[in-house]
Structure 1
Amino acid sequence: MASGKEKPLHSLIAGSTAGAVEAFVTYPAEFVKTRSQFGGQKESPFTIIRSTLASKGITGLYSGCTALVVGNAVKAGVRFVSYDHFKSMLADQQGKVSAPRSLLAGLGAGVMEAVFAVTPSETIKTKLIDDAKRPNPQYRGLVHGTISIVRKEGIRGIYRGLFPVVMRQGANSSVRFTTYTTLKQFVQGNARPGQTIPSSVTFGIGAIAGLVTVYTTMPLDVIKTRMQSLEARQLYRNSFHCAYRIFTEEGLFRFWAGTTPRLARLVMSGGIVFTIYEKIIAVIGGRE
């Protein structure tokens, strides 16, 4: 993020817009990642794409997309507003944030987005994707799926997997914002006074932040997906039991299932989100 404090409303608008665009553009990678993390027979990303296109067509790769687009827009808005708030609280007199403080601000932002946006949208998205691979899907779309889940399981049904989501989002935001902020401050420190960082550089920094985030938080993402699947209540008592079963029954490397599609998505996502966010903030004059 550039120097200066973002106005909360402008930060919300820029973050929500960036999140919605990013979710739609990168959703096929998210679909493949989620499918590859379910239990059962292992499938390569290409096998999942080929079988989905053969049975469902191109729309099959967008099963559950609406849930993620809406959730991602809210999530990104909450994330940027929360991060900027925590960052301003922790900044020094020059307005700079050290790496440890950026990590703490990112953690706070991750927890906020997990509770208010990510858990409900991710749970619904995961159940829709899990349901879509069945011969006779029971959910007809986002609205019908959400109503059916709530009727059957109550509000807890869309908050299943809250703990691993909080852990994952806290780790995601901590790593992503710390990496991004540290690299951007380094670039700004080596730039000429008043020089604007090009969008290509912003995209590259965001992409690197996404790359680092993927490999450090992948196990939490796998546990989150398993805990939000349709069979989770029958298979796992809690997140720790889920992790134990994955480790003992499927091996350590199963925690990195779906790394390739998630890597593709988060590298693109990091670049897209930060670039669009910075552009919108610049256009609407959102910094004080």
Structure 2
Amino acid sequence: MVSGTDDSKTPAVVSLAAGGVAGGIEAFTSYPLEFAKTRVQLREQKGIPTPRNPFLVVSRVYQAEGLRALYKGCAPLVVGSIGKDGVRFLFFDQIKEAFADPETKTLSPLRNLGAGMTAGVVASITAVTPSERIKTAMIDDARNEKRFRSGWHATTTIWKEHGILGLYRGFVGTTLKQASATAFRMGTYNVLKDYEKTRNIPQNTATNFANGSVAGVVTTLCTQPFDVIKTRSQSAHGASTAEAVKSILIDYGVRGFWRGTTMRLGRTVFSGGILFTAYEAAVKVINPLYSSVNFMY
């Protein structure tokens, strides 16, 4: 389990609830950097080059369109993150038991990565791809046609025009990103925690935040190409994975697959710390409540 409490006794429903709470908090607090990263990864408008500096992107959008524009597409991402991280923590915690060494009941770094990858695939199918598709389409649409009035309107419009497959546009890129990102993020975090336990390093808020931030750095550098492909696939009009890869190569060459790394790195370091710190805190609050309810019945 991921929790800093007695891991073996953390119930599945607690993992699900705590993961959902942590995911919602992380998505909302770090969204302006996610917005900037997505803008940079989308195809540039003719005659309007997109700056690489994330703070410049945020500043320009704020000056031209106001604060609300920086949170365009935030609602579907928050909802998706609640589902994504709830599922991700739930399945990672459950899958870890299946991946654990049968004799020692522990996970090697490779087994940690395997458990994280499996959890990432499940999260992509159940929550991540549709919410990321809506978020990206809304950010792209806001630059041009401005058709989408809200997250719900974007969802219904895409559904009417393309059916359920429209909501799963970019599924391959998203799943590759989620599988690898969850593997590296959850795997790195757990390897660090296991190491710290052998050195008797206290597990507190500062340690959890630091571990989450390191996991965020590793995740970003290893999975950035999948994130760029996903963003191109999930633009307002959408594109196949092959078309997305081709457009990136045409626009920027191989280096284009790491476009937006700086701003995503800033977000994942920040959000990784928040995610795991919020998860650990939520478990400590929810676990006793769940136990008391069970005791009553």
Instruction: State TM-score, norm by structure 1.
Output: 0.92
Equivalent position of 1:164 in the other structure: 173
Which sections of structure 2, spanning at least 5 residues, go unmatched? 292-297
Equivalent position of 2:295 in the other structure: none
Task: Say if 2:137 and 2:237, in contact at 8 Å, map to a contact too.
Answer: no
Structure 2 distance, partners of 1:109, 1:5, is 20
Q: Which amino acid aligns with 2:108?
A: S
Task: Say if 1:30 and 1:265, in contact at 8 Å, map to a contact too.
Answer: yes
Structure 1 distance, partners of 2:55, 2:184, is 29
Correspondences of 1:1-288 after superposition (within 5 Å)? 1=2, 2=4, 3-40=7-44, 41-44=49-52, 45-92=54-101, 93-134=103-144, 136-191=145-200, 196-233=202-239, 238-285=240-287
Secondary structure, in 3 states, of the residue corresponding to 2:50?
coil
**How far did residue 5 of structure 1 move?**
4.7
Runs of 4+ in structure 1 off by over 4 angstroms are: none
Structure 2 distance, partners of 1:280, 1:263, is 25
Secondary structure, in 3 states, of the residue corresponding to 2:30?
helix
**How far did residue 89 of structure 1 move?**
1.0
Structure 1 distance, partners of 2:161, 2:136, is 16
Q: Which amino acid aligns with 1:132?
A: A
Q: How many correspondences in the alignment?
A: 280
More displaced stretch, 274-283 vs 102-111:
274-283
Task: Say if 1:4 and 1:95, in contact at 8 Å, map to a contact too.
Answer: no
Structure 2 distance, partners of 1:239, 1:258, is 18
**How far did residue 97 of structure 1 move?**
1.1
**How far did residue 230 of structure 1 move?**
1.9
Structure 2 distance, partners of 1:105, 1:241, is 31
Task: Say if 1:91 and 1:97, in contact at 8 Å, map to a contact too.
Answer: yes
Q: Which amino acid aligns with 2:209?
A: F
Secondary structure, in 3 states, of the residue corresponding to 1:223?
helix
Structure 2 distance, partners of 1:197, 1:94, is 23
**How far did residue 249 of structure 1 move?**
4.0
Task: Say if 1:119 and 1:159, in contact at 8 Å, map to a contact too.
Answer: yes
Secondary structure, in 3 states, of the residue corresponding to 1:52?
helix
Structure 1 distance, partners of 2:84, 2:177, is 13
Task: Say if 2:50 and 2:57, in contact at 8 Å, map to a contact too.
Answer: no
**How far did residue 164 of structure 1 move?**
0.6
Which sections of structure 1, spanning at least 5 residues, go unmatched? none
CA deviation vs aligned residue, 1:86-121 (integer Å, no higher than 9, x gap): 101122344321111111100100000000000000
Structure 2 distance, partners of 1:54, 1:90, is 50
Task: Say if 1:176 and 1:212, in contact at 8 Å, map to a contact too.
Answer: yes
Structure 2 distance, partners of 1:230, 1:127, is 4
Q: Which amino acid aligns with 1:56?
A: E
Secondary structure, in 3 states, of the residue corresponding to 1:120?
helix
Q: Which amino acid aligns with 2:216?
A: G
**How far did residue 243 of structure 1 move?**
1.6
CA deviation vs aligned residue, 1:15-71 (integer Å, no higher than 9, x gap): 000000000000000000000001123322233222211221011100000000000
Task: Say if 1:12 and 1:77, in contact at 8 Å, map to a contact too.
Answer: yes
CA deviation vs aligned residue, 1:161-185 (integer Å, no higher than 9, x gap): 0011110000001111111111110
Structure 2 distance, partners of 1:5, 1:120, is 33
Equivalent position of 2:294 in the other structure: none
Task: Say if 2:213 and 2:271, in contact at 8 Å, map to a contact too.
Answer: yes
Overall identity of the aligned pairs, in %: 40
Task: Say if 1:5 and 1:88, in contact at 8 Å, map to a contact too.
Answer: no
